[in-house]
Amino acid sequence: MNMKIFVDTDADVRLARRIRRDTVEKGRDIGTVLDQYSKFVKPAFDDFILPTKKYADIIIPRGGDNHVAIDLIVQHIRTKLGQHNLCKIYPNLYVIQSTFQIRGMHTLVRDTQTTKHDFVFYSDRLIRLVVEHGLGHLPFTEKQVITPTGSVYTGVDFCKRLCGVSIIRSGESMENALRACCKGIKIGKILIHREGDNGQQLIYEKLPKDISDRHVLLLDPILGTGNSAVQAINLLIKKGVPESNIIFLNLISAPQGVHVVCKSFPRIKIVTSEIEIGLNKDYRVIPGMGEFGDRYFGTDDDDQQMISLTTQLDVPPLKMREQPS
């Protein structure tokens, strides 16, 4: 990993530091220090150091006092190192290449002060990038077309047998991006929730009848422990979908969840935009984005959520309410 960083410290600060160092540590008088600075140090900086600023990947204003910038760089390096190690272990894990645009969008959607409108806007941008990257892993056939100039262009034809499956509720936030990329695509739904203290998971599903003949893009913005993903993937496999035909799309992934899913299903593909630090004691992804569905849809009322889910899945409301508070 290569990263070019330019520390842009104010000229007055640089001079003050030099005066303090040379007078205290080297016993020089101020006149000598200023003479050396004006004749040699500053001209050398202007000729050889300052021109390198335009080649920097990151410019840190205010130097070492800019703790926010330094923390972002440290987090970025840790993320990169984590991605590299996991991708070496699991060749079926794909992390989209990070850019400062992507990092900036992540910064906004992770910020607790971000408004719902901005959260949805920048989440949609990130989701679109993940969906496009995931579509790139679908099979294709070569196709030739005639351009308006009369020339022959050899390209590819998109995969036709495709559908999406969202893990309710957060997964539904990814549906619009998928529809924007794949006109008229069928999208199924899976609901997974816990019942009682024993942690038993009940699954309600509404899937295309011919799903076994399709490639499936499984949608869930956050991969945490991996338990819900494993349940959803097992359901798809029981419905006849080959493991190799499943591409799991999410915005962020905890290493623990990646291990669980990749070890259980080595032939599926996982596409994500960032690998997280891990899970806390409450099994929440950190640094994370919070409750993604609540922030995206602007609701956190359990009854309102259940009414919405029963409408989508045609599940009797009373049965849906048999879950712990």
Q: What does the pLDDT average to over 121-140?
A: 95
Residue 303: predicted pLDDT: 46
Cβ contacts of 93 within 8 Å, gap of 6 or more: 86, 87, 258, 262, 269, 270, 272
Dig out the tokens for 46 from the structure: 């202007």
> Which residue has 């500053």 as its token pair?
42
Residues 310-325 as b/e (b if ≥16 CB within 10 A, e otherwise) read bebeebeeeebeeeee
Model pLDDT, residue 89? 86
9 and 63 Cβ atoms separated by less than 8 Å: yes
Structure tokens at 131: 């969906």
CA distance 215 to 229: 17
**Two tokens at 37?**
């600075």
* pLDDT tens string 56-91: 888 888 877 888 888 888 877 776 665 557 887 898
Token pair in block for residue 217: 């893009």
The residue whose two tokens read 């495709």 is 162
Tens-place pLDDT, residues 259-275: 999 999 999 999 999 99
Q: Which residues are CB-contacts of 20 (< 8 A; sequence separation ≥ 6)?
A: none
Beta pairing class for 246-249 and 200-206: unpaired
Best CA proximity match to 198, nearest among 289, 309, 324, 315 = 324
- Measured distance CA(285)–CA(283) in Å, rounded: 7
Among 79-88, 90-99, 142-151, which is the least confidently predicted range?
79-88
Greatest Cα pair distance in the chain:
87
Q: Output the six-digit token pair for 319.
A: 């049965």
The residue ranges of every structural domain in the chain are 5-79, 83-298
Give 53 or 64, the one with higher predicted confidence: 53
Least confident among 4-8, 78-82, 159-163, 294-298:
78-82
User: What residue type is assigned to position 321 of the chain?
Assistant: R
Asked which of 11-20, 62-71, 184-193, 285-294 is least confident by mean pLDDT, the reply is 62-71
Least Cα distance to 189 among 236, 243, 221, 222 occurs for: 236
User: Over 50: is that where the pLDDT of 322 sits?
Assistant: no
pLDDT in tens, 189-240: 999 876 544 455 767 899 999 999 999 999 999 999 999 999 999 999 999 9
Q: What is the pLDDT of residue 74?
A: 83
Report the pLDDT averaged over residues 173-201: 82
> What's residue 177's pLDDT?
94
Question: What per-residue confidence (pLDDT) applies to 316?
Answer: 44
* pLDDT given for residue 231 in this prediction: 92
* Angle made by CA atoms 27, 29, 30, in degrees to the nearest 5: 130
For position 79, what pLDDT does the model report?
64
User: How many angstroms separate the CA atoms of 162 and 185, rounded?
Assistant: 7
- CB of 79 within 8 A of CB of 71? no
Mean pLDDT, all residues of the chain = 87
Per-residue confidence (pLDDT) for residue 66, from 0 to 100: 86
Q: Are 163 and 217 in contact (CB under 8 A)?
A: yes
CATH of domain 83-298: 3.40.50.2020
> What proportion of the chain, given as a percentage, has pLDDT over 90?
66
